[in-house]
Copies of this chain bind each other. A is one copy, B any other.
């Protein structure tokens, strides 16, 4: 499986590549829910000391039933532990994913703001984009962010 038919180098350098891009995008989509869950769980823990299913439902705009099933999936995937009617904990793996998710979220958001995108819109776009950024693109965003800060932040010197 994988690149079975190289690239179809369409002379014009046009867009006729192979399946890889699409597969990657689909995989990213599948991982999206998990990342959003653990990120939010960590946020709730940081702000309120604990995360409960109801809070997740409220903040994600889904029913509590959806959250319940979602949590069962997270447990199955080793990202979360919890006992019925108790608060939710992240596993080591869950915390790692949450940290990564938060990092992305912040970088993407700051980047969009630096580009001049209005706050609310930037929040929305970041929520979707954050799941589709390679390390290289993350690095490029960060780099831009730094130079943008350098240019405006310290007009001294």
Which A residues form the contact surface with B (CB < 8 A)? 5, 10, 14-25, 28-29, 32, 36, 43, 47, 58-62, 105, 112, 115-118, 121-125, 127-129, 131-134, 136-137, 140-141, 143-144
Q: With contacts A29-B32, A43-B15, A59-B18 known, is A112 near B140, CB below 8 A?
A: yes
CB neighbours (8 Å) of A128 from chain B are: 24-25, 28-29, 131-132
Q: With contacts A117-B137, A128-B131 known, is A58 near B19, CB below 8 A?
A: yes
- A127 close to B47 (CB less than 8 A): no
- B132 close to A125 (CB less than 8 A): yes
Copies of this chain: 2
CB neighbours (8 Å) of A28 from chain B are: 128
The 9 closest A-B pairs by CB, nearest first: A19-B61, A128-B132, A25-B128, A21-B127, A115-B140, A121-B136, A25-B127, A22-B60, A129-B132
A12 to B: closest C-beta gap in Å:
9
CB neighbours (8 Å) of A136 from chain B are: 117-118, 121
Given contacts A24-B128, A29-B128, 17 further A-B pairs with CB under 8 A are: A14-B43, A16-B43, A18-B59, A21-B124, A25-B36, A25-B124, A29-B29, A29-B32, A115-B137, A116-B140, A116-B143, A117-B136, A117-B137, A121-B136, A125-B133, A125-B134, A128-B131
